[in-house]
Every structure is written in C-alpha cells, then in structure tokens.
Amino acid sequence: MFLCKTITSRCYKSTKSSTLWLSRKSKDIYTQQSKSDFYRSRAAYKLLEIDEKYRIFNKKTKNIVDLGSAPGAWTQIALERTKKLNIQADILGVDLLRYSAPVGTSLIQGDLLKQSTHEQIKQHFSNDSSNTRPVDVIISDMMANTSGIKDVDHFASMDLCTGAIILANNLLAPGGSLTMKYFSGKQDKLLKQSMEIMFNRVHLMVPKASRDESRELYIIGLNRKANDLTLDDVFPNGAI
C-alpha cells in the first residue's frame, strides 16, 4: 500500500480579508519575536514548546527528517537543539518547494506522497549501513493548501500524515519519535490508533503559538516500538 495523490495548488486574488490577515500577521507577537530571534517563521515556537514538554531531541538523536520543511524554521530548531547537546546531527529537510536550507543541513525537493521521495530519503541515510532504520526523529509541519472546506482540508492533512507514518514505519529506529501537524476532523481516532500501534506513548498538543482560529493539532509519538510492523498492522482499517 502506498499513497500517491496530487494535491492541487490554488491561487487566490488579493481581497480585503487577505489584507486583514497580513495586518494581523504584522502585529502577531510570535511573528515579531521570530524576527528578533532570526527564525525563519513563527512556527519555530511551536516546535520549541513541543520539545520543551516531550524532549524529542536528546543525546541519541543523530539523524533527523523534517517534512514540509520550508522555509526552514523547524530545521533551525532541530539544528539548535542538537548543537546544545553537542551532537553533530544529520538533518534532512523535505519539501515540495526549493529554498535555501539552513547551513549545516540538507534538502530534498520532493513530494512525500510519491514513493520516489521515500527512496531518496532512504538513500540519503544509506551511509549508515549498520542500521536498517537509521532515523531517530521525524518532524512534520506539512500542510496542503487549504480550501476553507473543513472536511477537504482534514482529509488532505490525513493523506500527509499517512505518508509520514509510512516513512516512519520504514526508517524510524526503535525508541525514535514522530511529531506531525494535522487538521482535526472525522479521522482523528484512526490517526491516533495507528500512532498507538507504532509508539509506546502518544500525545496530542496545541502549542501556544497556534492561532486561536486554527484547527491544527500536533500528535507526538514517542519511543517507537521495536517490533516489525507491516502497513496492514499500522493501518488495520485501511489507510487513514
């Protein structure tokens, strides 16, 4: 089973609402703080809060995959946290967009919903031939272009979570962690069920930096179980 869908991009004309959104963004405390802290986006504070609470980066963290990595804020945090632990981590960003990755990290421009991208990620870490599951931490702030239709946006985010879980099942080491953003909706329970099959501990969190009107949640899977799982095991009711 492998998910392979195309999520169509949308273009919108500038409207009064978009002008208001830009005005709100300019006044946002996290947006302002990100500039003074030299983070590439306010999303950095979401991962900082998640790591403060659950310590997803630790002294065993050597190989990290950042899914939906543009513009690079989460990659910056991964780099910052591992440096504080005196770890020279191999941090790989993956995104549909090409951008300038933070110095000391790598980038693959690709679609996680395509098997070829999974193969590229695997190849990146293939120098660690002693370990068939070389990745210690997977973080995902991926989100499809929103339509404004709750169910459509929810199912699009579930597609991306499915892709991340498939990657984790293939490459994440025992004891590793997977952190993902998603839009809440009808399949929340199925997502949590799949995560609980793979991980010893699963938590849900809404970081303080999430906007009040947002439906985004973060699901954090900690301490990946050592047992080998097929995709049928991980998705007992079919793909999310």
The residues assigned a catalytic role are 181
**Is 18 strand, coil or helix?**
helix
What sections of 28-85 are H helices per DSSP?
A: 29-36, 44-54, 73-84
How far is it, in rounded angstroms, from Cα 198 to Cα 222? 9
Contact 7, 145 (CB under 8 A): yes
Residue from 77, 85, 40, 82 nearest 63 by CA = 82
* Neighbour count for residue 132 (Cβ, 10 Å): 10
The dihedral sign for the CA sequence 86, 224, 166, 122: positive
